Amino acid sequence: MKDYKAADIRNIAVAGHSGSGKTTLAEALIYKAGASDRLGKTADGNTVCDYDPEEIKRKASLGTSLAAVEYNGLKLNLLDAPGLFDFEADMQEAVYASDTVLITVSGKSGVKVGTEKAYKAATLLSKAKIFVVTKVDDPDANFYNVLTDLKTVFGPTVCPVIVPVIKDRKVVSYVNLIEMKCYTYDAKGGVTEVPMPDSEISEKMDYRMDGLVEAFTEAVAETDDALMEKLFEGEEFTRDELVKGLHDGMNKGLITPVICCSDITMGGIDMLLKEVCLLMPSPADCTPPIAYKGEDIEEVPCDTAAPVNAFVFKTVADPFVGKMSFIKVMSGTLKSNSEYKNATTGAAEKIGKLYTLVGKKQTEISSANAGDICVAVKINAQTNDTLCEKDIMSFEKISFPQPCYKMAAKANQGDESKLTAGMARLCEEDPTLSFTQDAETSEFILGGLGEQHLEVAAARLQSKFGTAIELVPRKIAYRETIRKKVSAEGKHKKQSGGHGQYGHVLIDFEPCVSDTLVFEEKVFGGAVPRNFFPAVEKGLQDCMKKGVLAGCPVTGVKAILTGGSYHDVDSSEMAFKTAASLAFKDGMTKADPAILEPIGTLTVTIPNDNTGDVIGDLNKRRGRVLGMNPAEEKGMTIITAEVPEREMQSFTMQLRQITRGRGSFGFEFVRYEQLPANLVSEVLLEASK
Ligand SMILES: Nc1nc2c(ncn2[C@@H]2O[C@H](COP(=O)(O)OP(=O)(O)OP(=O)(O)O)[C@@H](O)[C@H]2O)c(=O)[nH]1
Ligand SMILES: [Mg+2]
């Protein structure tokens, strides 16, 4: 591949709702650009971008893949993102590294939550956006309904640019409103220019052609005062004015073009490619990103001659190649076999070989210029790190959602260290995965964004690192306590041959507010000699680890050693320790023991319309709503509630169902509370397993 400078590079993320045709669109663009000699299908598992075995098996994208193709003197870095919400990290990474986001919208199902998520991610990062309405060849597709939908949801910036001509519910041709030309496509994707639709056809369409032209020209006029004046004068715009207006409007976020196509019949794909080249900003056209240099903030222009500053936006743990780091070069020329400084760690970073990718196919390159995307292998840097040649600076980090769905991961005995090592690699690859060992239950806990996310992580752990795990609901860290003050006795007496054992204690137990045992002594007249007190305390401490009900740690207990007796010869520390444990068991059983469950504070952000359903759901989960406030984001509400941890296992998936993926939440432990009586037998049964 030749050496491309920023002006000839286009970084394009393809994002949108799950199944809306992103991978198929990328496939069509790659094929049309000549970088692949066949048009693969996700259903057949032979696309360039969905090459991972798990993706092929599930017929869905699970990670962002890069396909760098050359077209018309330009290098297009296509980043095909997944649409499933569980893999949002990859969508965020693709959008971050891009300069334009193609947001696919299915012509059949229209605007979905995934469309809004992609739009929001692109807008937050000030990326240019184009809506691509796919599947217009499908008999159930309705482009003009989708266009209305897009205008309703995203407002007046939505501007039709390539639209279908529909006759008897079938697309017969595609109109390019920039050129005011109409084309048909044959079965092999061959293009023929045909006359623009006549008024008879136009009348029968949901949107008349002249209305579309008017909407298009008005949107362009909005971007420039001189053009607006020209529009008022009734003058026509030249093609160059239209292109420039659209280009500038997209860059400023004033226009979001809508382009229709069929990825299967290739209808409109050539026009989309053409518009990609014409309308999309190059990295050099974009507002320079800012970097933090100590306390200072600095703009980093996309300048090849400047020192290197490069950002790692994605990491892949490849079992054959090793760790692959996807890098966007922000300034300078990143070279293979060279050394840079990692601004996050301060360490030197040796870069060996550099690659560009078309799906899984790697091509070695010697350097990548400012604005380009490339891949380095086996470097230490992590996702979100900045590599610098001179001044140390860090770019804004990609913001990832927190893992909120957690399960226990059970590996075969002896596989624990392999499990930990493999999971560390997978977590490095996916910042929305977490892997920890619960200090209390000793379980390994795998966290992610949803059921499918964890299932895929488990499958990858097996295929990439040869460790099988079973995902099971995690144990809840219950506690036990007492509710009554009691006096207890423990006597340990053994006379077996020579030396005997003798320890005898009287202990009062009472409830108190403390996580750990509070030990006091009120022994009169030396009934228990002072030197045995520590042994008594130690005996009780050991017992606190396992309560008498479900074997959970005990809290909130005060023990007062009040008396006992001893034997001059047979008493020992060991004997008093045992006596203390007998007293503990006696005391706990009599002191009205209870099980405590962990309670957490839930902060859940949801669309206003869903508040009723979410509150209803929280009530079923024994939740107590503490407050409800408008969120910063328009149309969203934040509910704060206290909910028992036991009831939270299924919340992630339920919330997704209620809010269709729009809701998000955080959950943090606050305190322990007594488990309601009706649940005690259930917990005891779980504990006995
Ligand atoms: N008829 C028709 N079907 C399409 C078109 N584009 C995609 N499809 C079909 O829609 C389904 C989903 O397509 P994908 O390209 O995998 O969708 P995606 O958006 O990449 O899906 P995820 O990455 O899993 O979110 C597949 O069965 C495709 O064959 C199109 O233009 N026309
Ligand atoms: Mg896909």
For residue 649, the model assigns a pLDDT of 87
Contact status, residue 48 vs residue 63, Cβ threshold 8 Å: no
3-state secondary structure 629-657: EECCCCCEEEEEEEEEHHHCCCHHHHHHH
Mean pLDDT over residues 541-559, rounded? 94
51: left (phi over 0), alpha (psi -120 to 50) or beta: alpha
Q: 317 to each of 63, 164, 314, how far by Cα in Å? A: 12, 43, 10
Residue corresponding to tokens 């397993």: 689
For ligand 1, atom 5, the nearest C-alpha belongs to: 135
CA distance 15 to 413: 41
Closest residue by Cα to atom 7, ligand 1, is 21
List the structure tokens of 176: 């390019």
Q: Is the CB of 98 under 6 A from ligand 1?
A: no
In tens, the pLDDT along 316-374 reads 988 778 899 999 999 999 999 999 999 999 999 999 999 999 999 999 999 999 999 99
pLDDT in tens, 440-449: 888 999 999 9
Nearest CA to ligand 1 atom 3: 135
Residue 208 has a pLDDT of: 81
Q: What is the structure's pLDDT at 399? A: 94
Burial 48-78 (b: 16+ CB within 10 A, else e): bbbebebbeebebbbbbbbbbbebeebbbbb
pLDDT top residue among 219 and 383: 383
Residue 633: its pLDDT value, please? 86
- Reported confidence tier of residue 267, pLDDT bands at 50, 70, 90: very high
Q: Are strands 434-437 and 444-448 parallel, antiparallel or unpaired?
A: antiparallel
Residue 499 above 80 pLDDT? no
Model confidence band, residue 423 (pLDDT cutoffs 50, 70, 90): very high
Q: Domain 405-472 falls in which CATH fold?
A: Alpha-Beta Plaits (3.30.70)
Torsion, Cα of 34, 39, 42, 43 (10° steps) = -170
Which residue carries 């008897």 as its tokens?
168
Confidence class for position 17, pLDDT limits 50, 70, 90: very high
Query: Which residue ranges make up each domain of the chain?
Result: 6-279, 290-395, 405-472, 480-591, 596-688
| Percent of the chain residues past pLDDT 90, beyond the cut | 81
Measured in Å, residue 83 CA sits from the centre of ligand 1 at: 11
Residues around the ion ligand 2 (C-beta < 5 A): 22-23, 61
Task: Give SS3 for 416.
Answer: helix
Dig out the tokens for 331 from the structure.
């300034």
Q: How far is the C-alpha of 175 from the C-alpha of 182, rounded, in Å?
A: 4
CA nearest 29: which of 145, 141, 130, 173?
A: 130
DSSP helix/strand/coil, 11? strand
Q: Would you say the CB of residue 547 lies under 6 angstroms from ligand 1? A: no
Q: What is the mean pLDDT of residues 21-35?
A: 95
689 exposed, middle or buried (CB, 10 Å; 0-12, 13-18, 19+)?
exposed
Q: How far is the CA of 82 from the centre of ligand 2 (A)?
A: 5
Is 268 near ligand 1, meaning CB less than 6 Å away? no
666-669: long-range contacts, CB 8 A cutoff, minimum separation 24: 666/402, 666/404, 666/602, 666/603, 667/404, 667/600, 667/601, 667/602, 667/603, 667/643, 668/600, 668/601, 669/598, 669/599, 669/600, 669/645
The C-alpha atoms of residue 660 and residue 654 are separated, in whole angstroms, by 9
Strands (E), 460-577: 469-472, 479-482, 486-494, 501-511, 518-521, 557-565
Identify which ligand lies nearest to the alpha carbon of 359.
Answer: 2
Give the least confident one: 2-6, 186-190, 412-416, 550-554. 186-190
Give the per-residue pLDDT at 545.
93
Asked if residue 278 has pLDDT above 90, the reply is no
For residue 61 and ligand 1, the question of a CB distance below 6 A is answered with: yes
Mean pLDDT of the chain: 93
User: How big is the CA angle at 619 (ends 613 and 622), to the nearest 5 degrees?
Assistant: 150
Q: Residues 624-631: what's their mean pLDDT?
A: 96
- Both tokens of 456, joined, read 């895929």
CB distance 90 to ligand 1 below 6 Å: no
Sign of the Cα torsion 141, 145, 149, 150 reads positive
In ligand 1, the atom with minimum distance to the C-alpha of 20 is: 19
Say how many Å lie between the CA of residue 1 and the centre of ligand 1. 29
Judge whether residue 651 has pLDDT over 90.
yes
**Could you give the angle at the alpha carbon of 656 between the alpha carbons of 655 and 661, nearest 5°?**
130
Q: Three-class SS of residue 596?
A: strand
* pLDDT for res 60: 96
Which residue type, as a one-letter code, is found at position 658?
I
Q: How far is CA 52 from CA 43, 59, 318, 359, in A?
A: 14, 10, 10, 9
* pLDDT score recorded for residue 206: 73
Residue 578: pLDDT band with limits 50, 70, 90:
very high
The reply to whether 480-591 shares the fold of 6-279 is no
Q: Among 146, 134, 152, 16, which residue's Cα sits nearest to residue 83?
A: 16
Cβ(56) to ligand 1 under 6 A? no
Q: Is the pLDDT of residue 189 over 80?
A: no
**Sheet of 501-511, strand order:** 486-494, 501-511, 557-565, 518-521
164 lines ligand 1 (CB under 6 A): no
Query: In sequence order, what are the beta bridge partners of 399?
Result: none
Phi and psi at 541, nearest 5°, equal -55, -45
Residue closest to 600 by CA, chosen among 321, 404, 457: 404
For residues 154-159, average pLDDT:
92
pLDDT of residue 496: 72
**What's the pLDDT at 614?**
97
Assess whether the C-beta atom of 20 lies below 6 angstroms from ligand 1: yes
122 three-state secondary structure: helix
The arrangement of secondary structure in 480-591, i.e. its CATH architecture, is: 2-Layer Sandwich (3.30)
Residues 387-410, mean pLDDT to the nearest whole number: 94
Determine the average pLDDT of the residues in 666-670: 91
Q: Is the CB of 554 under 6 A from ligand 1?
A: no
CATH class of 6-279: alpha beta
Residue 373 vs residue 500, higher pLDDT: 373
137 ligand 1 Cβ < 6 A: yes
**Distance from first CA to last CA of the chain, Å, rounded?**
62
- Fold (topology level) of 596-688: Alpha-Beta Plaits (3.30.70)
Q: Measuring CA to CA, which residue among 618, 505, 512, 611 is closest to residue 555?
A: 512
Per-residue confidence band for 491, with pLDDT thresholds at 50, 70 and 90? very high
- The confidence band for 379, taking pLDDT boundaries of 50, 70 and 90, is very high
Query: 197-201, 538-542, 670-674 — which is least confidently predicted?
Result: 197-201
Q: How many CA atoms lie within 13 A of 26 on its CB side?
A: 35
**What pLDDT does 205 receive?**
75
How far is the C-alpha of 408 from the C-alpha of 683, rounded, in Å? 18
Residue 547: predicted pLDDT: 94
Tokens of 512: 């108190």
How high is the pLDDT of residue 294?
A: 86
More confident residue, 119 or 156: 119
Compute the average pLDDT of residues 421-431. 93
* Residue 662 vs residue 201, higher pLDDT: 662
290-395 CATH fold: Elongation Factor Tu (Ef-tu); domain 3 (2.40.30)
What's the confidence (pLDDT) of residue 153?
95
| Nearest Cα residue to atom 8 of ligand 1 | 21
